[in-house]
Amino acid sequence: MLNLERLRTLDALARHGSVSGAADGLHVTTSAVSQQLAKLEREVGQQLLAKNGRGVRLTDAGRLLAGHAAKILSQVETAQSDIEAQRGQVVGEVRIAAFPTAARGLFPGALTTLRARHPELKLRTTEQEPESGIRSVLRGDADLAVVLDWSNKRLPVPGGLGKAELLDDAPDIAMPSGHPLADRAEVDIEDFAEDDWVSWPEGEFCYDWLMFTLRSKGVEPRIAHLAGEHHTQLALIAAGFGVCVAPRLGRGPVPDGVRLVPVRQPMRRHVHAVWRADAGRRPSIRAAVDALRSAGRALHSPQAGPDNFLKSQDLTACGVSRSQACRSS
């Protein structure tokens, strides 16, 4: 009889490609992974791993069994989902990944709601960029991921995943308050063809979107500075080092000396939740999606304008008065 936990360990090794990666994904030690795999080899009577430099690789028998393990674990997940659905109770653990501004803007409200409504549900969260979050869900390292795409550049969602819309986020252009366009009611992104840009790091989905969008407008971007945190981007803008796209979700306090102006053409970030389709009937997954949607609705509609959207994110809790927030934006 094959041991389910050992099959889970083999599946993690196949997905992560290393003993250390499997250990991280399973939240155990590398020695625990090695012990489980050694026991599995004795159970099946075949070598499943072979040395590969400083690491290991799966043998033909290892790859064959890993393929079966993935199918077995998927069936187990489906069975667990069906049992939970029949019982109707929101219990167990839900691991949620989200890109940073969604984690900052949605997690506090969503987790508070889940804790109040479902005290027996254990929650574990992490920040991950959209592509990484999708990979975590596919690997089974996360149950749910909050991801994004843009109205003019979609993020591919692989088969086998369920998806639900959470909210739309309308970004603004952030510029120094002394910028020639700072007094405009609206701007077009191509109006900044001669400006330096502060952007997300290369390789991230939003960096690729910015390059794609500007080039589609006939503008070759002048990327001067790269920063993953929006607070860092806005600090550079306040110091006069360029302009940037500033989404409203999770924005937080805006530094003095920064002016935020809405973009004239429709430009939206679409925020979604994704999960493995075979886990879609779990009440805990549905409860988490509902809580995230409620947190998104609590931020108010982005069409209300940047000032109202900022107010809805309770800047007073961050030590910034509403009057300061409105002057900054």
Specify the pLDDT at position 75. Answer: 79
Overall pTM > 0.85: no
Dist. CA 299–CA 313, nearest whole Å = 6
Contacts of 260 (CB under 8 A, 6+ apart): 172, 173, 174, 246, 254, 306, 328, 329
pLDDT tens across 123-151, in order? 999 999 999 899 888 878 899 999 999 98
CB 240 within 8 A of CB 164: no
What's the pLDDT band for 318 if we cut at 50, 70, 90? very low
Better-predicted residue by pLDDT, 91 or 323: 91
Q: What is the mean pLDDT of residues 251-259?
A: 92
Percentages helix, strand, coil for the chain, rounded to the nearest 5? 50, 20, 30
Specify the pLDDT at position 182. Answer: 96
DSSP-derived pairing of the beta strands 258-262 and 172-176:
antiparallel
DSSP 8-state assignment for residue 192: G
Percent of the chain with pLDDT over 70: 88
Specify the pLDDT at position 310. Answer: 42
CB 166 within 8 A of CB 273: yes
Specify the pLDDT at position 17. Answer: 87
Q: Residue 299 pLDDT more than 90?
A: no
What's the pLDDT band for 11 if we cut at 50, 70, 90? confident
Q: What is the mean pLDDT of residues 289-316?
A: 62
Specify the pLDDT at position 306. Answer: 44
| Integer CA distances (angstroms), 63 to 73, 89, 168, in order | 15, 37, 42
What's the pLDDT band for 254 if we cut at 50, 70, 90? very high
Query: H or E stretch including 199?
Result: strand 197-199
Specify the pLDDT at position 81. Answer: 63
- In 98-151, which residue ranges form alpha helices assigned H by DSSP? 100-117, 130-139
Q: Residue 325 pLDDT more than 50?
A: no
CB 117 within 8 A of CB 287: yes
Nearest to 170 by CA among 268, 74, 266, 263: 268
| Integer CA distances (angstroms), 129 to 75, 79, 325, in order | 28, 30, 28
Q: What is the mean pLDDT of residues 222-251?
A: 94
pLDDT tens across 170-222, in order? 889 999 999 999 999 999 999 999 999 999 999 899 999 999 999 999 999 99
